[in-house]
Amino acid sequence: MSAQERLSAVVGHLNPLKTSGKAKILEKHADDIVLTLAIRTPLTKARKGGLKDTPLSDLLISILTALREKSNIDPALIEDVCLGNVLASDQAYIARSAVLAAGFPATAAASVTNRFCSSGLLAIQNIANQIISGSIDVGIAVGAESMSTCPDKGPPSMGDTIEKHVLAGQNTQPMGQTSENVAGQFSINRKAMDAFAAGSFQKAETAQKAGWLEGEIVPVKTVIKDPTTGESKEIVVNKDDGIRYGTTAESLGKIRAAFPQWSPSQTTGGNASQITDGAAAVLLMKRSTAIKLGQPIVGKFVGATVVGLEPRIMGIGPSLAIPKILGKFNLSQTDVDVIEINEAFASMGVYCVQKLGLDPAKVNPRGGAIAFGHPLGCTGTRQVVTALSELRRTDKRIAVTSMCVGTGMGMAGIFVSEH
């Protein structure tokens, strides 16, 4: 009955055994949703790179075949494949057909999901949710985009009611205009944008030269047409081609504005994401299933969320989606080791880093879409592949991945590496 014992009782009440958000997401439970393989194709420049003549169907067959072979999974166990794709017409035909052509049996279903640049992450969330709810046990999420063969035509005409609506009408603005809106409204200057973009190139250059990207990439065997002779030949694409070595803020500063018609006209071909072809895929199941099948667990899907905002400044979506997903899992920024923000434009990249006070060393440590390119539907899955590879290399655990989404949204997800 000493005061000391009473004091320690009270102190015990105040130091709850309650686990922190971080400790909680690092716990391993049988019904966790885990990734047992995460791969991507090289990302190559649209209309110029090695994948320029590879249609979406062949891109998909290539990545799905690679996934089937590398994972060693019995293809009969795949119950559903969700494709994140933004631009292709006839997506649903292509998705299901590519699954079958990639060596999966008739029992493997397929669907398509499209929320613009978040489609690849949404595909992961869709498959994970199906597994959580017990609809399926094993599934594949794949993000793929052939911007060479399905070019982005920008916003369509949507009729008077939408175009005259105060919010919906903003969706007639092209993405480039929304980048200028962000730069203008939040006073992001050209210098900061070029510095951000140069950082992306420099980090990607380091990663490529050091061979870190090889852990993400599976080569694509395809056919390319010579633009002058029209002759087709077989090639193997095994390297990203968008990374311009030796890029500096000064060299980017010389590039002229891409959108002189929209003030402040700071966005350039050098500080915006590149137009690119590519695909990425992950294999998802419960931890208990992975253990039963002897599948190696590379990471865990913790959760994802989405936000909406004014379409005219859609770029700042991650500045809302990241705090939202961190809050849902009781995490702080310091708990997170890698933060992937899709670099649609340097304007929104600079804004998000500043607004959230992010540690620049944690943001896109291997560079982002400014250096690699941004195959719209692929990016959401590609960032997960990149983040898990980087966590594995640096022996870190937690990644947040996020992107702004055209028409004014943002998405963010949390993944844990279990290397």
Partner 1 sequence: MNGMLEFRTQGYNGYAVKYSPFFDSRIAVAASANYGLVGNGRLYILGLTANGIQAEKWYDTQDSLYDTAWSEAHENQIAVACGDGSVKLFDVSVPEFPVMSWQEHNREVYAVSWNLVTKDTFASSSWDGTIKVWSPNRPASILTLPTHSCTYSTAFSPHSPSVLSSVTSDSHLRIFDLRTPASASNHLVHLIPIHGPGSTGGISSVGGNRQNFPPAEVLTHDWNKYRDTVIATGGVDTIARTFDIRNPRGGPTTLLEGHQYAIRKLAWSPHLSDVLLTASYDMSCRVWTDGSTTAHPGIIGGAKQLGQMNRHTEFATGVDWCLFGAEGWCASTAWDERLLVWDVRAIMGQG
Cβ pair 117, 273 in contact under 8 A: no
The dihedral sign for the CA sequence 387, 392, 394, 396: positive
CA atoms within 13 A on the CB side of 287: 13
Residues with Cβ < 8 Å from 167, sequence gap 6 or more? 310, 311, 408
Catalytic residue of the set 117, 150, 352, 378? 117
Would you say 301 or 351 has its CB closer to partner 1?
301
Please state whether the peptide bond connecting residue 264 to the residue before it is cis, i.e. omega within 30 degrees of 0: yes
Give the separation between CA 142 and CA 282, rounded to whole angstroms.
6
Per CB under 8 A, residues contacting partner 1 are 1, 3, 6-7, 9-10, 12-14, 16-19, 27, 29, 31-32, 132-134
CA atoms within 13 A on the CB side of 34: 25
Would you say 9 or 361 has its CB closer to partner 1?
9
User: What is residue 240's three-state secondary structure?
Assistant: coil
13 is catalytic: no
117 is catalytic: yes
Cβ count within 10 A of residue 235: 15
404 is catalytic: yes
Residues with Cβ < 8 Å from 124, sequence gap 6 or more? 82, 141, 282, 284, 301, 304, 380, 381, 384, 413
Nearest approach, Cβ of residue 26 and partner 1 (Å): 11
CA atoms within 13 A on the CB side of 401: 30
Nearest approach, Cβ of residue 21 and partner 1 (Å): 11
Cβ count within 10 A of residue 308: 15
Residue 235 DSSP label? E
Would you say 34 or 193 has its CB closer to partner 1?
34
Would you say 302 or 353 has its CB closer to partner 1?
302
Nearest approach, Cβ of residue 6 and partner 1 (Å): 5
The bridge status of strand 299-308 relative to strand 220-225 is unpaired
The dihedral sign for the CA sequence 201, 203, 209, 212: negative
Catalytic residue of the set 150, 352, 378, 404? 404
Residue type, 8: S
Angle, CA 137 vertex, CA 31 and CA 376 arms, to 5° = 95
Nearest approach, Cβ of residue 397 and partner 1 (Å): 16
CA atoms within 13 A on the CB side of 360: 11
Nearest approach, Cβ of residue 406 and partner 1 (Å): 30
Nearest approach, Cβ of residue 128 and partner 1 (Å): 10
Would you say 204 or 414 has its CB closer to partner 1?
414
Would you say 2 or 157 has its CB closer to partner 1?
2
Nearest approach, Cβ of residue 4 and partner 1 (Å): 9
Cβ pair 404, 351 in contact under 8 A: no
Catalytic residue of the set 82, 352, 374, 378? 374
Would you say 195 or 399 has its CB closer to partner 1?
399
Task: Show which residues are catalytic.
Answer: 117, 374, 404
